Structures are given as structure tokens and as C-alpha cells.
């Protein structure tokens, strides 16, 4: 399960999507908009994405995590539109039989999500300037 949304993210909804029989651990990652980046005061972010491609890419990433870590489920949501410091920009949930697999898979999924999803971020700064941010 993955989606892009312009609405606030509810981590509780993701937790429910990955918890079930055989799940002994659920790990949630919340990526929160911070107000400082590279020493500059950030006042807002704009996220843009391509939903169909993002869903496909996340499915591939989740399948890879399943093969590598033996997880029981993975889900994610990424915001689009305007966000301000404190907003949740991305949330990843992973269920697994054991905590080690859940932690390892969650880290893998968020790292791959940042690299491979067709989602772009523009930062707006206190001085009125902005910049598109690339995630290597």
C-alpha cells in the first residue's frame, strides 16, 4: 500500500495496514519537515510527484524489502503540496515477525524511497528565495 496525498498523514492508518497475524513488530518512520536545512531557515516546502509512478516504485521497493528481510507488510504515504515545519512529509510502516527485520527493512524502504520515488521537493527560505532539493 502506497499513496501520494495532499492531506495530513495519519501514522495510525499505516500501522493498521501492516499489523496482523504473525506480526511481532511494527516500525514507523515519520519524516518531519524541519525549519533549518544547510544553515538556512526553511519556512515551507512544496512537494510534487507522479502518483502512478510512485505507487509502482514503492511496490518494487517493498517487494525487495520482503525478499531481503522477510517482512510481513509495508505501507507508505508521501505528502504533496505545501508543507510547513512540523508537518509529516513521509511516513513508512513495516511489519515483521521480529524487530530486527522490521527496523532493517524500514531503513531500507525509506532510503530507497528518497532515491527512487518520482517526488520532488522545493524549499522556501526566510529571505524569500527558494531551491529545488535533489536527494542523491
User: For the residues 33-48, what does the mean pLDDT come to?
Assistant: 96
Cell triple for residue 8? 495530513
Task: Look up residue 122 and give its DSSP letter.
Answer: E
* pLDDT computed for residue 44 by the predictor: 97
Q: What are phi and psi of 25, to 5 degrees?
A: -150, 140
- Category of 71 on φ-ψ map: left (φ > 0), alpha (ψ -120 to 50) or beta: beta
| Average pLDDT of the residues in 3-29 | 93
More confident residue, 108 or 20: 108
| Cα first-last separation, the chain | 25
Rounded to an integer, the average pLDDT of 98-115 is: 97
* Span 86-93, average pLDDT: 98
Identify the pLDDT of residue 13: 86
pLDDT of residue 25: 97
Average pLDDT, the chain: 95
Cell of 101: 527485520
Domains and CATH numbers, the chain: 2-127 (3.90.1170.40)
Amino acid at each position: 500500500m502506497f499513496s501520494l496525498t495532499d492531506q495530513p498523514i495519519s501514522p495510525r492508518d499505516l500501522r493498521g495496514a501492516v499489523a496482523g497475524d504473525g506480526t511481532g513488530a511494527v516500525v514507523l518512520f515519520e519524516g518531519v519537515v524541519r525549519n533549518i536545512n544547510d544553515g538556512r531557515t526553511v519556512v515551507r516546502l512544496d512537494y510534487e510527484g507522479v502518483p502512478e509512478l510512485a505507487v509502482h516504485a514503492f511496490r518494487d521497493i517493498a517487494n525487495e524489502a520482503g525478499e531481503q528481510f522477510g517482512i510481513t507488510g509495508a505501507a507508505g504515504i508521501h505528502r504533496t503540496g505545501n508543507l510547513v515545519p512540523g508537518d509529516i512529509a513521509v511516513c513508512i510502516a513495516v511489519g515483521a515477525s521480529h524487530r530486527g527485520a522490521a527496523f532493517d527493512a524500514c531503513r531500507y524502504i525509506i532510503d530507497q524511497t528518497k532515491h527512487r520515488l518520482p517526488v520532488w521537493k522545493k524549499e522556501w527560505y526566510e529571505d524569500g528565495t527558494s531551491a529545488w532539493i535533489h536527494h542523491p
